[in-house]
Structure formats: structure tokens, C-alpha cells
Chains A and B, each alone.
Chain A
């Protein structure tokens, strides 16, 4: 492993693979905040040059957090298929990049390779990709999963209906659910971020979702995004109907601890889901991630936010999720400064998740203290569909009044489907037609009229 290169005649020497990985990143305010970013544009390129020569084996040998100290590392390393790993381990990152892009490399070949990769390898190759590379490579990879319906099949594009409410008012939430469905939103999941994460409140909302879903025979999944232990209690003690179990996750054990989470909790949660949930499965978990969360809880171990993010996907893979999405612009400008950084991060995360082998969606979003606006987020959403993203979010006109941020609106999924010739999940598509909201994949004039559900 050589950590030194010349660039424009100047010698750049890096002390560790960690330093190379951090400095090879595209510019991110979070890496600067952590004090690990390249100090100049030229140093960034020098790090990329050095990284291009690193072998996948070197990356395997240098996990971001030592094996002995971190259960996320252990889960990733122990999950590696050694036979497949051996096929790729002598490739340099540059060679691996070209192999991924090669016309002879198929979706199935990449899917197989996924089983032999660690998250550090995934992150490394991402750092050598341009935005279009990330789209081009991700486009090849399809990762589908089945809960009540199947997400991620070719020709489909889905959305999560996110009916968040400032006070969890059940009527207000249902008003939002109705309008979202009427616009073709919600085939991935109807999922609420609760204000009140008490067990009773979570169970109450799940019941109202379940009742509505059954009454109108909506072929989808329901979820309330409370802590995994709360959902378990709601299911176990109050018999709450749950299709998908949610949890925010991080790329290190310490990061997960900041979320009050351990791997065994997720094992237990998934086991309970398989025994008690209302859904068909086998994919019954839903995770959210986002670059920068490890740094914000001082759990990054000196590593960069792209690598830590890749480790989230490595960790998630163990639980065979139905949905995983990166909440890419929620964290704020100290991690992703502006729209350029958010768009880059969205494409990186989507690519890395797919290369890891998990079914990826993206909450393309921004907060009001970030230099970004709705146009930027529409750009990112469009790029993600081009990259074959499974799903995006949908909130009323992109304005989440509870989380106080903006993301994609109820109208976006339908617009993008029309532009790219895609459909919702088949059963949901048929349901939309039955309800009269769409015809041959296009919204009808009735779409957007939530009062249809008031009959």
C-alpha cells in the first residue's frame, strides 16, 4: 500500500488510509468541520490518485473502526462471502471502478460482487466516481424487496407518503394521507414521523392507517417511524398492526448508541416482526440514514462521512430491509453546505446502498438554513430516477410542516413517472386505476381530489 504521489511535481504523502479516504472525498462542509478534509483542490486530487491504486484487500484490512471495538464492523466483516471477495480483492479501486462501469459487467454480476464487499471498498470506489458515473453504475443495479408488495422492479418508481402533522392530529394526518394517495403517492409505504412517540399514540396512528388501508383496499405498507423499542411494545402489548418496522441507523456502534440502538435490538425487532407483523414479508424493516450523523454524535472515529454512510448500508444489509433511504439534506449546512453538496451526497448514497445490495430510496431534501431551494431538490430527484432509485418521499407540496424542512411533494413521483415512462408498484398502479386517479400510468383529472375518500 503506497500512500504517496506526485502531482504537478509536488509530493503528497498521506499518513494513513483514513487520511487518503477523507481527502479523496468531494468537498463537504462536514469533513471540514471534522478537520479531515483536503486542504486544497490539488491535495484532493492527490488523494484520489493514491486511492485509485489501493487494493480492495487493503481496504478490507483497514475498517473505519477496529473489529474488536465495533459491532457494525463485525457485522460487515463477518457477512462477507470469502469466495466472492477473493475474486475481487486484488483489484485496485481504479480497476474496480472500471469493472463496475464495463459494458460486460451485468446487474447480476454486481449483485454477486456485493456479497464479497466491505463498506470501505464501497465508499472508496464512490470517491473515484463522477456524478454521471454514479448514475450510470447505479442504473445497472436493481435491488428489489417484498413486503406486502414488491418494490424496486424494473419499470417501476415508488414513493413514500409522509403525512406528518405538527400535533399528530388523527384527522389532519388522514386528510394528508387521502390527498397523497389521490396523487399516486404511497406505494412504497405510508409512513408518519410522529411528534408524540409514546406507545399509545404510535399504536393509535397505526390502527387508523390499518383501518384506512383495509377499508379502501390499498395495496401498500404502513409504518410509524418511532424508535424500534416503541414499535415493538406497540405491537406486543397493544397489538398494533405494523407492516414495516422503522429505525434510524448509523455507521458505527457508538453512532447507533446515540440512537439508543444495538444490533441485538434490531435482531429482536425483526424476529418479532416475522412472528407478529401484519405484513407478508420477508422484507419487513425500514431504515433511514444520512451523511454526517456519526460526526454529530462524535462517533466517526476520525473517518469521513461518505465512508461512515457506506457502513450504514453494510449494517442494514444484515436485516434484509424492504426500504432504506438516505435523508440527504436534513442535517444542515455544517455537514452538507449547499445544493451542490446535497446533490452529490444523494447520488453517492444511492450508489453505495445499491452496491452494498440494499433497496435504496432517497429523501431528497433541504432545510431552510442551507443554500438550496426546491429547484435543486427537483434536480436531485430527477437524477435519482435516472439512476434507478426505488423511491422518493412525498409530502404536501414538498413542505413538511412538522419536521420543518422541504423535500419532494406528492406531485413529484407522478411527474417523474410520466417523464421517464415508469409506473408505481403494479398492484398499487391497478388500485389507482380502479379508484380513477390514473389511467395508463398518467394521472387523470380526478387525481388530487382527496374528497373521493370522504364518501
Chain B
């Protein structure tokens, strides 16, 4: 039994806007006499849009109408309708994510981007998505080493480190090809942190100056050094810490990357060579690519070809955000999809003691009380400590007590569990609550405090639901 679900990825970045459609194949890998085990077995990008410059109204405002026009045109070209899609992600990334009108842009798109398309952004997620799009996770798994992907975009460089296929860390620096812009042979924009970096090294540049290739290349060399510091092949200088986006954190020193991939617009110059005119794109992206390529410290790490370069983030968004739940779950039909649900995480310590579990739910629910009552939340826990029938009955009582406010409220009771107990727990709660409450109880999903999740409409004859876990939306 194979089934396909269609996914869209839309990336509205600092410099470019792109879209892809992909097809995810799900299959029951268990034999017919076993409990089903449904997994995503294949991911294929079926349509890649052109790459557009992100339309801006001003330096700080995205032109929502024009973005919408681009997306609509690409849907038509691909012959795709919003209702054809079961999952996907729109992300506003990089510097653009800090733009004031990001929310209104997302709102203008949500109506036509499919019923289950979600809006998400944030540098950590972008790092992970671009690395997956570039294939760093796969290379690290196959080669059994740690591989970092550096996605060098217009405004930021997003780094994600994978070891043997699993994520070990992310970071994001204000290093990018469009942090210095060039128009008509003159410098038209310098990002303040880059200005400071240049000054620190005694390079004087100012808006309005003639764009001198060798001077700007020297600035780019220092930008490349900052990337080398970020992957721990160079000792950090005193400016390094300040270059992390939004005062973010650097990667931990261990594990150290033994392999590198590059993605983002700058990376396509890295792998494919420079255009004739270095300022062809009106920025220093080409020079930055050259500086990265020539950087002695970065050269000490093996560089692998990236599966995607300029499209890595959008491919990551379209094909790597969706998981499927466990195959024995419990939900009230008609209540899905649900989107952007904040995660209320119960720690493993709290899980083991009924009173602590109950109190933790109550305490944390208070954080989600707004003017219009309690927000919709997902209660998330491991489920490792309740597997026998008796334990699950106890757990259902604990949850019913702890979440009494949810049960009394208008929203469904949403439980997201790692261990395979969701159907049994759902049954226990349904019997306990005499089927008077809508319950969505799914497993096979890991999420943390601060994450948001989307649960899609059931697929595979209703046995599984697609789930998107989003880490740190608008990490500002």
C-alpha cells in the first residue's frame, strides 16, 4: 500500500522568493499480519519555481501583494490548486523575517496556499531546513561523521550541524551576500555590523563610495573568517559573538564538523563558478563565495557537494518539515486540521509521579490563558512510563484532572506522545469522559517547549496524521 501526499514549500527570503511542490510517498512497512507501521518512504520535488527577487516596498517592508502575485502565478504554471495539497510550509526567512509586515504577508498567503499550509520562520528552523535541503543530514549519516551545512544567503548565514544523521546544533550569523549592496558601481547599502567588521580591520567603506572589487573582497575575507570561527576551525575574535543573529548562540565545540556543505545563493557561485561581472547581482555575494572558497581555515574541512544550493531552504521547507504520526492513534473526526498549536511539555521527571504530572499541566496551562480564555495547546510527553492497562487508566485520570480546564473549554484535548500508547490512552480518556469531549491523541511525535505543531487531516485510510513540528516561530 502506497499513498502520496502533496506538499508545498514557499520561502520568502531576504533576497529571493521561491516555491516548490513535492510529493511525499507514505507506505505501510509492516506486513499485513502486524500492526501497521506507516512511514514516509520517498520524497520527490516535482516542481521548482523560478527564483524571484523578493519584492519590497521599502528596505523594511515586503510587498505582500506582489509576493501573492508571484505565488499565484507559480501555482498556475504548476497546474496546482490549494485544495490539492495536504501539507507544506511557508517560511519567511533571514533578515526578512524581522520585517514588520511578515505577519500580514503570511495572512495574505494562507488563503491560497492550501488548507494545511502553515506559516513558520525563525533562524533555527531555517538552518535545519536548508541543511536538509542541501543533504548534509544524509551525508553525515552515510559517511558516519559530523557535517555542517552553511546556508549563506543575502542577510544571514544559517548553520546546522548533523552527526550520523541526527541534528546536533544550529546557529545563525549576520553574514550574507546582500549586507553590502552595489548600485551603478557604487556602494548603496552597508549593514551596520559589517561596517563595524570592516572598521575593526582598518577597511574604510561608506555608502556612496565607488565599489572597489579588491577592497570589498577584503571585507568578504573577514566575513569568511567569521564563518570559519563559527564552525570552530579558527579562534574567535572579539567581534565574533556580536555577529550572531538576535544575540543567538554559537555551535558547541563538539562534535566538530568533519565535512561541510554550502547552500544558499552564495553557494551556487561557490560550486558553479562566478559570473563575468562580480557585481552582477548588485551585491557582494560573488566576492563572498570567492572568499569562502579561498579561506584557508575552512579548507581544512572536506567540502561535499550540496544536493541543493540556492533552493536548499525551500526544498527543505517543502519536503522535510512533515512527519507522520504513529499508526495507532485516536482522534475525533472533523476536528482536523489544526494549526500553530503551542506545545506544553511535561518533563520525564514530572511524568513519573501522578500529582506532579497533574500539577505541571495545571501550572503550565496558566501561561496560555488570554483575554478570550484558554488558548488551544498540545500537551506533550514521552509516554515511556505508562504502558500497562492499569498505568494508562491512571494516566487518563491524571490528565483529566490536570487538564480539567481544557476539558471544560471549547477546544479539543490535544495530546502528543512519543511512545506508542496513543490509541489505548485515547480509548481510556473516551471511556472516562464518556465520549463527551473531543480528543486528539497521537504518538510517534517528539516536540519541546517553545515548539508549535500542526496536525493535518488523516491520511492512509485515517490511520495516520501528517504532523509538522516547528521550532521557535519568529525567534525574536
Within 8 Å by CB, do A and B touch in the complex?
A: yes
Q: Which residues of A contact B (CB under 8 A)?
A: 167, 195-196, 454
Say if the beta carbon of B5 comes within 8 Å of chain A. no
Q: How far is the CB of B39 from chain A (nearest CB, A)?
A: 11
- Some 6 contacts from A to B, beta carbons below 8 A apart, are A167-B29, A167-B30, A195-B31, A196-B29, A196-B31, A454-B144
Q: Which single residue of chain A is at the shortest CB-CB distance from B31?
A: A195
What is the CB-to-nearest-CB distance from B144 to chain A, in angstroms, rounded to a whole number?
8
Give Cα A387 to B144, complex, Å. Answer: 47
Contact residues in B for A196 (Cβ distance below 8 Å): 29, 31
Chain A residues contacting B29 (CB-CB under 8 Å) are 167, 196
Docked Cα-Cα span, A195 to B30, in Å, equals 9
In the complex, what's the smallest C-beta–C-beta distance from A454 to chain B, in angstroms? 8
B144 neighbours in A (Cβ, 8 Å): 454
Bound Cα distance from A454 to B30, whole angstroms = 29
* Chain B binding surface SS class: loop
A167 to B36, CA, bound (A): 12
Complex interface residues of chain B between 4 and 34 (CB less than 8 A to chain A): 29-31
Among all A-B residue pairs, the 3 with the closest Cβ atoms = A195-B31, A196-B31, A167-B29
Which of B30, B31, B144 has the most chain A CB atoms closer than 10 A to its own CB?
A: B31
Nearest-Cβ distance from residue B31 to partner chain A, whole angstroms: 6
**Which B residues fall within an 8 A CB radius of A?**
29-31, 144
Say how far A193's CB is from chain B's closest CB, in angstroms. 13
CA distance A167 to B31 in the complex (A): 9
Q: How far is the CA of A101 from the CA of B226 in the complex (A)?
A: 86
Complexed CA–CA distance, A339 and B80 (Å): 66
Bound-complex Cα distance A196 to B29 (A): 9
> CA of A454 to CA of B142 in the docked complex: distance in angstroms?
11
Shortest distance between the CB of A403 and any CB in chain B (Å): 14
Closest to B2 in A: A200
Report Cα–Cα, A167/B144, bound state, in Å. Answer: 23
Q: Chain B residues with Cβ under 8 A from A167's Cβ?
A: 29-30
A88 CB to nearest chain B CB (Å): 49
Nearest CB on B from A165, distance (A): 12
B37 to chain A: closest residue by CB: A167
Min CB gap A199→B, angstroms:
13
- Nearest chain B CB to A23 CB, angstrom units: 40
A195 to B33, alpha carbons, bound, how many Å?
11
Give CA–CA (A454, B145) in the complex, Å.
Answer: 13
Whole-angstrom distance between the alpha carbons of A365 and B29 in the complex? Answer: 29
B42 to chain A, nearest CB (A): 11
Closest partner residue, chain A, to B30 (CB atom): A167
Query: How far does the Cβ of A212 sit from chain B's closest Cβ, in whole Å?
Result: 15
How far is it, in angstroms, between the C-alpha of A195 and the C-alpha of B28 when the chains are bound?
Answer: 13
Q: How far is the CB of A345 from chain B (nearest CB, A)?
A: 29
Q: How many Å from the CB of A178 to the closest CB on chain B?
A: 14
CB distance from A38 to the nearest CB of B (A): 39
Q: Considering only CB atoms, which chain A residue lies closest to B29 in the complex?
A: A167
Chain A nearest CB: distance from B420 CB in Å? 15
Determine how close the nearest CB of chain B comes to the CB of A225; give it in whole angstroms.
16
B12 to chain A, nearest CB (A): 38
Contacts of B30 in A (CB 8 A): 167
Assembled-state Cα–Cα distance A454/B31 (Å): 30
Question: Min CB distance, B327 to chain A, in Å?
Answer: 14
With A and B bound together, what is the CA distance between A167 and B29 in angstroms?
A: 8
Which residues on the B side are within 8 Å of A195 (C-beta)?
Answer: 31
Alpha-carbon distance between A373 and B144 when the two chains are bound, in angstroms:
40
- Whole-angstrom distance between the alpha carbons of A196 and B27 in the complex? 13
B442 to chain A, nearest CB (A): 22
Residue of B nearest to A201 (CB): B29
Expressed in whole angstroms, the minimum distance between the Cβ of A227 and any Cβ of chain B is 15
Nearest Cβ distance between residue A452 and chain B, in whole angstroms?
Answer: 15
Give A26 to B173 CA distance when docked, in angstroms: 81
Docked complex Cα distance between A196 and B33 (Å): 11
Residues on the A chain within 8 Å of B31, using CB: 195-196
Q: How far is the CA of A196 from the CA of B30 in the complex (A)?
A: 8
A406 to chain B, nearest CB (A): 22
- State how many angstroms separate the Cβ of B116 from the closest Cβ of chain A: 29
CB neighbours (8 Å) of A454 from chain B are 144
Minimum C-beta distance from B412 to chain A (A): 34
In the bound complex, how far is the Cα of B144 from the Cα of A143, in angstroms? 46
For A200, the closest partner residue in chain B by CB is B2
Shortest C-beta distance, A450 to chain B (Å), equals: 14
Q: Give the CA-CA distance A184 to B157 in the complex, in Å.
A: 51
Task: Kindly state the separation between the CA atoms of A149 and B333 in the bound complex, as whole angstroms.
Answer: 60
Q: How far is the CB of A1 from chain B (nearest CB, A)?
A: 50
Q: CA A231 – CA B95 in complex, angstroms? A: 55
Q: In whole Å, how far is A166's beta carbon from the nearest beta carbon of chain B?
A: 10
Chain B residue at minimum C-beta to C-beta distance from A168: B29
Determine the distance from Cα of A178 to Cα of B31 in the docked complex, in whole angstroms.
26
Residue of B nearest to A167 (CB): B29
Q: How far is the CB of B362 from chain A (nearest CB, A)?
A: 41
Q: Tell me the smallest distance from the CB of B446 to a CB of chain A, in Å.
A: 21
* Complex Cα spacing A167 to B35, Å: 13
Chain B: minimal CB distance from A216 (Å): 18
Measured in the bound complex, the distance between the Cα atoms of B335 and A304 in whole Å is 63
- Complex CA distance for A376 and B323, rounded to whole angstroms: 49
CA distance A167 to B30 in the complex (A): 7
A454 to B143 Cα, complex, angstroms: 10
Min CB distance A401 to B, Å, is: 15
A72–chain B nearest beta-carbon distance, Å? 31
Bound complex: CA of A196 vs CA of B31, how far in Å?
Answer: 7
Shortest distance between the CB of B361 and any CB in chain A (Å): 36
Closest Cβ of chain A to B178, distance in Å, is 42
B29 to chain A, nearest CB (A): 7
A189–B31 alpha-carbon span in the complex (Å) = 26
CB nearest neighbor in B for A197: B31
Residue of B nearest to A169 (CB): B29
Q: Would you give the shortest CB distance from B140 to chain A, in whole angstroms?
A: 15
